């Protein structure tokens, strides 16, 4: 894979690994400088952690990223959000995929994150809209995330999305594990109310 770094004009790279951890890309791998599209698309292939070469200096032109990681902490989302050019993100936390559970992400720390992002799908990741500080993700039109219905009982749960100005579509996978029927109903109602409160009235898809 090191020879790929020498393909200076390579702008799109799709890597298919059948089953298991993607471990042939070393932490010191240097991606091609012109890379704009990077995808690890097969559902059964994943990284143990977010590779260190996914950073703003190595992938300054990247516009599309599709990746699965065993665990996605808030720090990983923060790092991906620093990529200056990327427009489309699809990232999955596979440790939560079979367990029907999800962890809410902490609020991001900078308004400069996700400057060009137009579409973000956080699969099995509790990236609720309030994760984005006001001013971040100014061009984001399509947001997908996972939400545990059980969270609706929290006093400080914040589903507001008005601060994401370009939002047009929101997709939410509602996790019903450990939640009562009433909590599921209230969670979906709260998500609908948050979407209706947005000036754009984004389309809301609940799954």
How many whole angstroms separate alpha carbon 137 and alpha carbon 116?
7
Res 57: pLDDT:
92
DSSP-based helix, strand, coil % in the chain, nearest 5? 20, 25, 55
Res 1: pLDDT:
52
How many whole angstroms separate alpha carbon 102 and alpha carbon 93?
9
Give the chain's length. Answer: 207
On whether the CB atoms of residues 74 and 105 are closer than 8 A, the answer is: yes
**Closest of 129, 122, 11 to residue 64, by C-alpha:** 11
Q: Report, as an integer, the average pLDDT of 70-87.
A: 93
Res 98: pLDDT:
65
Res 121: pLDDT:
97
What's phi and psi for 183, nearest 5 deg? -65, -40
Q: Count of CB atoms within 10 A of residue 24's CB? A: 9
What's phi and psi for 204, nearest 5 deg? -115, 120
Q: Per-residue pLDDT tens for 163-191?
A: 999 999 999 999 998 899 999 999 999 99
pLDDT band at 148 (very low <50, low <70, confident <90, very high): very high
How many whole angstroms separate alpha carbon 138 and alpha carbon 191?
21
Contacts of 63 (CB under 8 A, 6+ apart): 36, 37, 85, 86, 87, 88, 116
- Token readout for 11 is 């702008």
């Amino acid at each position: 894979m090191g020879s790929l770094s020498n393909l200076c004009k390579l702008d799109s790279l799709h890597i298919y690994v059948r089953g298991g951890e993607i471990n042939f890309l070393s932490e010191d791998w240097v991606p091609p400088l012109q890379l704009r599209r990077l995808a690890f698309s097969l559902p059964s292939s994943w990284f143990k952690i977010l590779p260190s070469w996914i950073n703003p200096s190595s992938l300054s032109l990247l516009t599309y990223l599709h990746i699965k990681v065993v665990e996605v902490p808030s720090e990983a989302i923060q790092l991906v959000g620093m990529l200056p050019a990327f427009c489309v993100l699809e990232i999955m936390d596979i440790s939560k995929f079979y367990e029907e559970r999800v962890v809410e992400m902490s609020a991001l720390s900078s308004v400069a994150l996700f400057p060009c992002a137009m579409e973000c799908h956080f699969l099995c990741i509790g990236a609720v809209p309030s994760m984005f500080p006001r001013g971040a993700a100014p061009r984001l039109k399509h947001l997908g995330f996972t939400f545990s219905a059980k969270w609706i009982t929290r006093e400080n749960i914040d589903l507001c999305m008005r601060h994401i100005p370009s939002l047009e579509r929101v997709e939410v996978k509602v996790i019903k594990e450990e939640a009562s029927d009433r909590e599921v109903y209230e969670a979906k109602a709260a998500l609908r109310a948050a979407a209706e409160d947005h000036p754009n009235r984004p389309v809301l898809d609940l799954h």
